[in-house]
Amino acid sequence: MKFEDEESKELQKQRLERRRQKFSEEARDNILNSPLRDEALLSKSTNAGIESLVASQDLREKFLCQLKHKNADQREHGLRKLREIIVSIYDQNKSDRSFVEQAYEVYKMSYDFYLQKRDFNKVANLVLSFMVTHLPLDMTVEYAEINIISLSHVTRDMDMCIRSVRDMAHGSTPSELLNSLLEMSVIYMYQTSSPRRWFKILSAFDTESPIYSYVTRSKAFMEMRRRNFEQIAKCYNQIPVGFLIDRWFSNMITADEVRSLHDFVTTPNGAEVIVFKKRR
């Protein structure tokens, strides 16, 4: 029994030692020296791990590659850290093409991350705002196009939207795409045309393009869908589903979406018809 008591005390002693070790200065240093585990931003941190990332482009590159295999929280934190490092050393490195290319990769990954989360405010304020003002247009032209829509449809800054169109046109007549983006912006902001026109413009974009992916995922797409249905209900008491999808939405929504949003009946010949409440 005495032997068992001594063995129990030894186990308790070992557990206490492990607890102390967990909160020891050594463990604390290990946390601070790991960029992925240190939750402080660069402005609040001076540890060696961050300083190494600031000083070495190769280390930043390795760190960026590691982030691709981390979970969402770690990836978001790591990208935030890299963006802050890039901002802090941008002025002294902006003439270095390799640094600029690395900055582009960091912000491109940040864009993809927040777009997947559908966090359009962070896409606008943390990512696009830097890309269009600090990175060369030959790298970021697709993101500059997205920024035009972001300015009008997310931040609702039409003055900056128009200025961005002019900047991209370089004093020349804006391209057909820029004019389309501007028209979509004006329709969204000021309702100068029917929502069906907004969908008509969008339907002409390449479905594989970043701008198409951005718009179709956005809350603005849902808002324009709502506005379009609202106008349709003012024009019709009932309307065939196929006609509605083709003529009013330029095939930008599916029959399943329509059925989920509105009551419909099936005619004797098998056609589906959306029925709106009659106006008094």
What local confidence, expressed as pLDDT, does residue 30 receive?
47
Residue 171 vs residues 132, 149, 163, 167, 258: alpha-carbon distances, Å: 17, 20, 11, 7, 43
For 261, phi then psi, to 5°, come to -100, -25
| Domain coordinates in residue numbering, the chain | 30-117, 138-227, 236-280
pLDDT tens profile 118-151: 999 999 999 999 999 999 999 999 999 999 999 9
Instruction: Give pLDDT tens digits for 155-200.
Output: 999 999 999 999 999 989 999 999 999 999 999 999 999 999 999 9
> What is the DSSP annotation of 246-269?
IIITTT-S-HHHHHHHS-EEE-TT
Q: What is the pLDDT, as a whole number, of residue 3?
A: 45
Confidence of residue 268 (pLDDT cuts 50, 70, 90): confident
Where do runs of H (alpha helix) occur along 23-56? 25-32, 48-55
Kindly indicate the confidence band of residue 267, based on its pLDDT and cuts at 50, 70 and 90: confident
Does 1 or 226 have the greater pLDDT score? 226
Share the mean pLDDT of the chain: 88
State the pTM of this model: 0.82
Comparing CA positions, the residue from 247, 245, 241, 185 lying closest to residue 211 is: 185
pLDDT tens digits for 29-64?
443 345 554 444 444 444 677 888 999 999 999 999
Q: How far is Cα 168 from Cα 198, in angstroms, rounded to an integer?
A: 22
